[in-house]
Amino acid sequence: MLGGVLNLYKPVGMTSRALVERVGKILGVKVGHTGTLDPFAQGVILVCFGKATRLVPFFQELDKVYRARFRFGIATDTYDVKGSIVAVSTRPLVKEALLEALQSFQGTFVQEVPPFSACKYRGRPLYEYARRGEPIVLTREVTVYRLEVLDCREGVFGEAELRIHCSGGTYVRSLAHDLGKKLGLGAYVASLVREQVGIFRLEDSIDVVRRGIEKGFLLERSMSPDKALYFLKEVEVGKEEARLFLHGTPFAFPASLPNSSIVKVLYEGSFLGLALWDASRFLPKIVLAESCHVS
């Protein structure tokens, strides 16, 4: 069984790990999520199960859409509503200044990872260092494709609701913190909803916390690995190439692809796994199928 991918809804107050454990208990197989949502946040979280858990890194790179409420005039150590207050400002939020400042956070730029995050440094999550008073500064390049102000309440301790379309790996908490610094007010994320991951939308997500969710229902609502990897090109190979692929052996096959492309390998319509194209041959990277009537 290759497993599959589920578009799940994580409610406020639940950890991503707890959600994964619940799904694993229902399905009775290995399960892994493709991107953590903080306990105070809610929304879409993609979960892979079975052999599809080996595909998790590919889904982590998908772009995301968030709806976030930023509260200004207060900064917290975690950059969100759950943190301890570290600074306060009674300067008022002005919408015109907010709109101008937001221009600096569109496009591609380098962002600091929040010190209280699950991102790892030397095998340990950053929050462990931060709790010991030894914060680690890590940065990453991110892209914000669109920032839309949905609502703005000006004044002291003002608030703004934004819709954010960004690349995978973008921290909305860091965006709020950096925006607050730029405005000279301080800011944190008061609420956060992940509305979309790639093509997977909130309105289509499954709430597994509600009672009565059974294995058959989840399997029926899951997406096959090859369909979930909609963003990768596919190559239909012949019998000999399929045999070589299943044994993890590189093989030559005519293809017109950019060098270092990751592609889905299929034989007679059946998904075998993923291969890397190196301009002259395919190198098996992830072999999911054990056999496909290939001898």
| pLDDT tens readout for residues 38-64 | 999 999 999 999 999 999 999 999 999
* pLDDT score for 293: 55
Tokens describing residue 13: 């107050």
| pLDDT tens readout for residues 134-166 | 888 889 999 999 999 999 999 999 999 999 999
* pLDDT class of 21 with cuts at 50, 70, 90: very high
| pLDDT tens readout for residues 268-277 | 999 999 999 9
| pLDDT tens readout for residues 168-211 | 999 999 999 999 999 999 999 999 999 999 999 999 999 998 87
> Is 294's pLDDT higher than 70?
no
> Is 35's pLDDT higher than 90?
no
**Is residue 38 annotated as part of the catalytic site, yes or no?**
yes
Could you give all domains of the chain from N- to C-terminal order, each with its CATH number? 4-62+199-227 (3.30.2350.10), 64-197 (3.30.2350.10), 232-287 (2.30.130.10)
CA of residue 76 relative to chain centroid, distance: 24
For residues 47 and 22, give the distance between their C-alpha atoms in angstroms, rounded to a whole number: 11
For residues 65 and 68, give the distance between their C-alpha atoms in angstroms, rounded to a whole number: 10
What pairing do the DSSP bridges indicate for beta strands 270-277 and 261-267?
antiparallel
* pLDDT score for 124: 85
* pLDDT score for 291: 57
| pLDDT tens readout for residues 216-269 | 999 999 999 999 999 999 999 999 999 999 999 999 998 888 888 999 999 999
* pLDDT score for 1: 62
* pLDDT score for 256: 86
For residues 55 and 37, give the distance between their C-alpha atoms in angstroms, rounded to a whole number: 19
| pLDDT tens readout for residues 68-92 | 999 999 999 999 999 999 999 999 9
What pairing do the DSSP bridges indicate for beta strands 42-49 and 4-10?
antiparallel
* pLDDT score for 64: 97
Indicate the DSSP class of residue 223: B
pTM (2 decimals)? 0.92
